[in-house]
Structures are given as C-alpha cells and as structure tokens.
C-alpha cells in the first residue's frame, strides 16, 4: 500500500515501535501524545522480520521507530512511511524524551520516505566552560 502524502498540519502521525524498543507504556510522553503501537506487545509479532514489520507499518501508515535503522533503510521507498533510527547509545532513561523531541521537530515532509536519526546527546556539548 502506498501512503498518501499528508498536507502540512493535516495529519497526526502514527508510530510502530520495533521489538528492540520498550513497550509503548514505558515511553509515557510519546504514548500520551501520539498513536503508538509496539510490534511485540500490541500485535504479538515478536520475532517478525523487518519486511513484515515495515509492511504492517505501511498498511497502517505508521512510522517505524527502531534501533535497526540500517536494515529498515533498505525498505523505504518513495511515498512509503519514514523510519526513526534510534542509536543504541541513547540511555534507556532518555529514550522517551529524545524520541519525543525528534517527532516534534519532524516537518510534514519527514513523514514519508525518510530515515530520521535519534542520537544520544554529546556530553561535551552540555558542559559549560568556566
């Protein structure tokens, strides 16, 4: 299924969490703000192939959030849902806030056929010089 290109401000994006991520209930801010589903805990498809996960996301017009962006990148085609690639270096306690921030910063054009990276903040950039 080919996703329809949304008009700016007309669509509230939906998301599909890959099984490496915690269930949506543990991403409280994201789960309260957007329609989130988890491949294993909501769909009972733990162990599903990346193709199966992405096909489900495409069928439901959901953006995939994964730690496995490199493999999902191969599946993204024009007019298909985007993928949010979360670095394994993001501390578990920061997942919700960093994913939330990434989604908030997405532009309407980022909803389709893109791979958006979420990286751990650089500790040196938060230090203040004295």
Segment 70-96, tens digit of pLDDT:
999 999 999 999 999 999 999 989 999
99, 108, 120 from 30: Cα distances, Å = 7, 18, 17
The β-bridge partners of 112 are 81
Read off the pTM.
0.85
For the four alpha carbons of 119, 91, 19 and 56, in that order, the dihedral sign comes to: negative
User: Cα separation of 65 and 87, whole Å?
Assistant: 11
| Interval 110-126: pLDDT, tens | 889 999 999 887 765 44
CA separation for the pair 47, 83 (Å, rounded): 19
Least confident of 10-14, 51-55, 103-107: 10-14
């Amino acid at each position: 299924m080919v996703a329809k290109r949304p008009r700016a401000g007309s669509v509230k994006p939906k998301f599909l969490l890959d099984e490496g991520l915690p269930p949506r209930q543990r991403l409280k801010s994201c789960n309260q703000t957007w329609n989130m589903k988890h491949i294993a805990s909501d769909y009972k498809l733990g162990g599903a192939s990346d193709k199966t996960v992405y096909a489900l996301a495409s069928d439901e017009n959901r953006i995939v959030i994964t730690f496995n962006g490199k493999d999902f990148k191969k599946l993204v085609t024009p007019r298909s849902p985007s993928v949010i690639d979360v670095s394994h270096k993001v501390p578990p306690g920061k997942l919700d806030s960093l994913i939330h921030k990434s989604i908030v910063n997405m532009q309407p054009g980022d909803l389709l056929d893109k791979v958006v990276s979420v990286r751990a903040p650089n500790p040196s950039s938060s230090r203040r010089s004295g």
